[in-house]
Amino acid sequence: AQSVSQHNHHVILSEAASLELGCNYSYGGTVNLFWYVQYPGQHLQLLLKYFSGDPLVKGIKGFEAEFIKSKFSFNLRKPSVQWSDTAEYFCAVNAFGNEKLTFGTGTRLTIIP
Amino acid sequence: AAGVIQSPRHLIKEKRETATLKCYPIPRHDTVYWYQQGPGQDPQFLISFYEKMQSDKGSIPDRFSAQQFSDYHSELNMSSLELGDSALYFCASSSQISSYEQYFGPGTRLTVT
């Protein structure tokens, strides 16, 4: 079974700072990787996804993530955060041919104006 | 664009009561997934359906059952409710064509008192 680790539980940044949230997964086969964002009191929204091809994927709202297969990592980045990026961020994975998502424990991001 | 609809949005039940949560997938989506998110926790996969058949099962208690109907909507039935069932229950849907991308509904917040 696959598992996902997000080592940063709570990150606090000032506006305009650069962001990188770590995500590592454990699975021996082919995986699909996702980052979801959950704004306070709202549902999960897909930020970006990686299925295959270019390991650097760009998502909505200026976010990007890089898949490094050798490190089993899929870190989320944004060069300049905004106050509106305050939210919970979940990394998720599913195995090729099995759609159920396994989520990491999430990273709470707080942006200080 | 149409999104996943869940009803009710909020539900308060007492211990040992039953609850039924409903999910209406995005039109032409044939797969439905149920996830449970406890307070401060990551979403946990419960169960999924494809073309009205159960396709996968996760950590769903025996007290819970679910089904998908001919119009592809799904219902999660929860009996003998316990305090620990208090959580946000998300439904997600996907299509076979893009089966690795799940679109989440707003969730039903169940409170068991």
Per residue, the 3-state secondary structure of B16-70, as one string, reads CCCEEEEEECCCCCCEEEEEEECCCCCCEEEEEEECCEEEEECCCCCCEEEEECC
Q: In chain A, what residues touch B102 (CB-CB under 8 Å)?
A: 46, 99, 101
Q: What is the structure's pLDDT at B19? A: 98
Q: What is the structure's pLDDT at B1? A: 65
Contacts of A53 (CB under 8 A, 6+ apart): none
- For A90, the closest chain B residue by CA position comes to B42
Q: Looking at CA atoms only, how far is residue A88 from chain B in angstroms?
A: 10
Task: Let me know the angle formed at the C-alpha of B49 by B44 and B54, rounded to the nearest 5 degrees.
Answer: 100
Residues of chain A with pLDDT under 50: none
Q: How many whole angstroms separate alpha carbon A10 and alpha carbon B40?
A: 12
- For B89, the closest chain A residue by CA position comes to A43
Q: Which two tokens stand for residue A81?
A: 């955060």
Q: How many whole angstroms separate alpha carbon A65 and alpha carbon A57?
A: 5
Contacts of A54 (CB under 8 A, 6+ apart): none
| B61 vs A: CB within 8 A | no
- Per-residue pLDDT tens digits of chain B, which is 113 residues long: 678 999 999 999 999 999 999 999 999 899 999 999 998 888 999 999 999 999 999 989 999 999 999 999 999 999 999 999 999 999 999 987 765 688 999 999 999 99
Q: What is the structure's pLDDT at B101? A: 82
